[in-house]
Amino acid sequence: MKNISPAALTALLAVIGLLNSFCADMLIPALPALRDDLAVSDWQAQQTISLFLAACAFMSLWYGALADAWGRRTVTLGALIVIAVTAIASIATSQIEQLWALRTLQGAASGAGLVISRTIVRDLHIGPTAQRLLSHIMMVQMLSLVATPVLGGWLAVHWGWRAVFVVLAGIMLALTLACWRWLPETLPREQRRPLQLGGLWHSYRAVMRSGTFVRLSLAHVANWVSMVIYAFSAPAIVMRHLGHGPTEVYLVYIPITVGLVGGFALLPRLAQRWAGGAILKLAYRILGASIALNLVVCWLLPPGLIHTLPLLLIAVGVALALPVLIDWALSAVQDNAGIGNSCQTFMQLAVMAVGAGLLAPLLWDSLFKLALGTGVITAIGAWCLFRERQFRQTSPCPAP
């Protein structure tokens, strides 16, 4: 393993955290081509996303413990190899059931990405420094948010949906080589914890019994899912409501990406002058205003590009709140950082699986229903944060 600069490590951690995004976002615009080629329904094609996310969510529960026992590098390299192999096998599938099985395995391996990248951040930094590093990592990740689905749509149109898996396999093999050469091991052997069922049970119970961890994690998950429902619905929005082709899903992804990158770029500057609580107040004011604007636009105006403007503002609010909520939640369980990351990632991906397989298909036939669904989910997250604020006002424990 060779030494790596802090900037290069940030970029590498960002890409590791994109495993589930590579595997899901690149395939979403290719679903119409997959549906036609395999002669299946829209619902059956959509399950290649929801099954992937469900498996990703389930395995993310265990990757923190596996990384605490075997080290960050070993688990990461193993996950990358599994994703590459299942991508290669997906190229040869001829039935949707085969693809469902391979996507489930692929999702199980992809769960390592978010858990381990965030765990390495917590290994190296805490507090404002961790928040800034998380914002930098997320900003790098968001730059791929447009490129990944656009690439998937372009591949599907010109080469067929199987080309998506050819490219995905190549990316995973290249990333395996990069991690083997440059990813550092941030957990020394003497600090590793053996896999003991009794000890794991106590650790998981300790994390999930932390009301602060659960409330702040749910607030983060609600914000994120309220936004990515639009990403899951992008083909329907672009093709049904805006009248464009599948390669133009960037019309949905661009405003989301611009908003996220802008918010993540602004956060380090705000963190130098404001406390985390003040940043959260600003974030939720932006979210409230953008949700209201989204509802008004969808109620009063016919479908058009103007409907994508509120997505930019929603993404800014999500970006400002995300690093603070994640850091505060993990600070509440800092003695079990790996397990905490696993539980938090499980919550995020499990709700995303429900969003992809159930909520998005129920809402995407109407732009107003999408806007209303986003508003309700955001309100649930705001209520969790309000309950946490009430708890802190009555608790003698200091806030993070």
Cβ count within 10 A of residue 225: 28
Tell me the average pLDDT across 188-216: 82
Q: Report the chain's mean pLDDT, rounded to a whole number.
A: 86
Residue 335 DSSP label: G
Confidence class for position 321, pLDDT limits 50, 70, 90: very high
Determine the pLDDT at residue 75. 93
Q: Read off the tokens for 136.
A: 């930098």
Which residue matches tokens 């372009």?
154
Tell me the average pLDDT across 147-164: 88
- DSSP for 292-333? HHHHHHHHHS-SSGGGGHHHHHHHHHHHHHHHHHHHHHHHTT
Determine the pLDDT at residue 380. 94
Determine the pLDDT at residue 398. 46
Rounded CA gap, 235 and 245, in Å? 8
- Dihedral (CA of 332, 338, 339, 345) sign: positive
Tell me the average pLDDT across 373-381: 94
Is the pLDDT at 76 greater than 90? The verdict is yes
Among candidate residues 144, 305, 142, 296, the one with its CA nearest the CA of residue 224: 142
Residue 399 DSSP label: P
Determine the pLDDT at residue 320. 92
Determine the pLDDT at residue 48. 93
Question: pTM score, two decimals?
Answer: 0.71
Share of the chain above pLDDT 90, in %: 37
Confidence class for position 243, pLDDT limits 50, 70, 90: confident
Tell me the average pLDDT across 300-309: 89
Tell me the average pLDDT across 136-142: 68
Among candidate residues 377, 271, 261, the one with its CA nearest the CA of residue 312: 261
Confidence class for position 364, pLDDT limits 50, 70, 90: confident
Tell me the average pLDDT across 87-106: 95
**Residue scoring higher pLDDT (215 or 267):** 215
Residue type, 261: V
Tell me the average pLDDT across 349-369: 85
Determine the pLDDT at residue 173. 96
Residue 17 DSSP label: T
* Cα atoms in the Cβ-side hemisphere of radius 13 Å centred on 240: 12
Tell me the average pLDDT across 278-296: 95
Is the pLDDT at 356 greater than 80? The verdict is no
Among candidate residues 250, 220, 252, 248, the one with its CA nearest the CA of residue 233: 252
SS3 call for 223: helix
Domains and CATH numbers, the chain: 6-182+191-394 (1.20.1250.20)
